[in-house]
Amino acid sequence: MANLIDGKAVSASVRAQVAQETRELIAKGVTPGLAVVIVGDDPASRTYVNNKKKACAETGIHSEEYALPATTSQEELMRLIDELNVKKEINGILVQSPLPTGLDEKAVVDAILPEKDVDAFHPSNVGRIMIGNFHYLPCTPAGIIELIHSQNIEIQGKNCVVIGRSNIVGKPMAMLLLHNNGTVTICHSKTKNLKEICQQADILVAAVGKPKFVTADMVKPGAVVIDVGMDRDENGKLCGDVDFAEVEKIAGYITPVPGGVGPMTIAMLLRNTLTAAKLQNGLME
């Protein structure tokens, strides 16, 4: 049976560290601040925003919510970003996606000052990640690296396979594994021989968005299997991209859903906000 990687526990320890550093920063007169912008009334987005605000409060990070109606125009949203870009109390700006149809998400991300882009989605931060000279890492892939390190698993020299090439998970994930000296293969919907490629993986990251997509016959015995998926099974129950019940019998390590990658994402957002506050106050280079 695989060792379970407990995302809740690792996330709690990252949050405790962030809380400690936040207290030290506040003692120096700097309170980290995060602005969370939500447009419209998507229930999943509302839950994510509430969780982010709660996590900020628990760590001592100041947070401000900007809840705008679904009828908000592009100009109004861009004006808000401009205001937040210059607002002193705000070190990080997060715009909850997806935005309602008709709003240009890319234009919004481009408008956020790179030093306040705690999601690390701005092209300037994406470029920095590519060349290995970054302050912020996108939260989900950064959380996954933290999970792997928490088990003292060596990435260097390992065959790493990432299924999925989205800008927020798959591509940056592959880049971070590469920075850690993994030998990385990225798979996507046009990949041929997916099963054979996955069977070679020492570390397999599934970011597909399809329930139980990774089956036991795709997994090398003893492999580290990281499940990013947040899907619904045939009964509407939350599950991942990995067929957990079967894969845990042969993997060396596995992350559960829920309780694996998910809790790490918010923890890394808090860390990025702390970093932003330090950078903007000359307390970090």
Q: Which of 49, 126, 174, 207 is the binder for ligand NAP (CB under 6 A)?
A: 207
Residue with CB nearest ligand NAP? 166
Cα(265)–Cα(8) distance, integer angstroms: 11
> Minimum CB separation from ligand NAP for residue 69, in Å?
25
* Strands across the sheet containing 92-95: 62-68, 33-39, 92-95
Helices (H), the chain: 7-27, 43-59, 74-86, 105-111, 123-131, 139-150, 170-179, 194-199, 244-247, 262-280
Smaller CB separation from ligand NAP, 25 or 56? 56
* Binding residue count for ligand NAP, defined by CB under 6 A: 25
Q: Is 41 a catalytic residue?
A: no
Q: Which of 79, 188, 195, 232 is the binder for ligand NAP (CB under 6 A)?
A: 188
Q: Is 227 a catalytic residue?
A: no
Distance of CA 5 to the CA centre of its chain: 17
Shortest CA distance to 89 belongs to which of 68, 61, 113?
Answer: 61
Cα(24)–Cα(36) distance, integer angstroms: 24
Smaller CB separation from ligand NAP, 52 or 122? 52
x/- mask, ligand NAP, residues 143-182, rule CB under 6 A, reads: --------------------xxxx-xxx------------
Smaller CB separation from ligand NAP, 114 or 209? 209
Catalytic residue among 8, 20, 42, 52: 52
Do 228 and 164 form a contact (C-beta atoms < 8 A)? yes
> Minimum CB separation from ligand NAP for residue 167, in Å?
8
> Minimum CB separation from ligand NAP for residue 228, in Å?
4
Catalytic residue among 116, 117, 119, 158: 119
57 CB burial (10 A radius; 0-12, 13-18, 19+):
exposed
Cα(56)–Cα(91) distance, integer angstroms: 13
Q: Is 200 a catalytic residue?
A: no
Do 98 and 237 form a contact (C-beta atoms < 8 A)? no
Smaller CB separation from ligand NAP, 80 or 139? 139
Q: Which residues are near ligand NAP by CB under 6 A? A: 140, 163-166, 168-170, 187-191, 194, 207-210, 228-231, 261-262, 265
Q: Hey, which residues are catalytic here?
A: 52, 96, 119
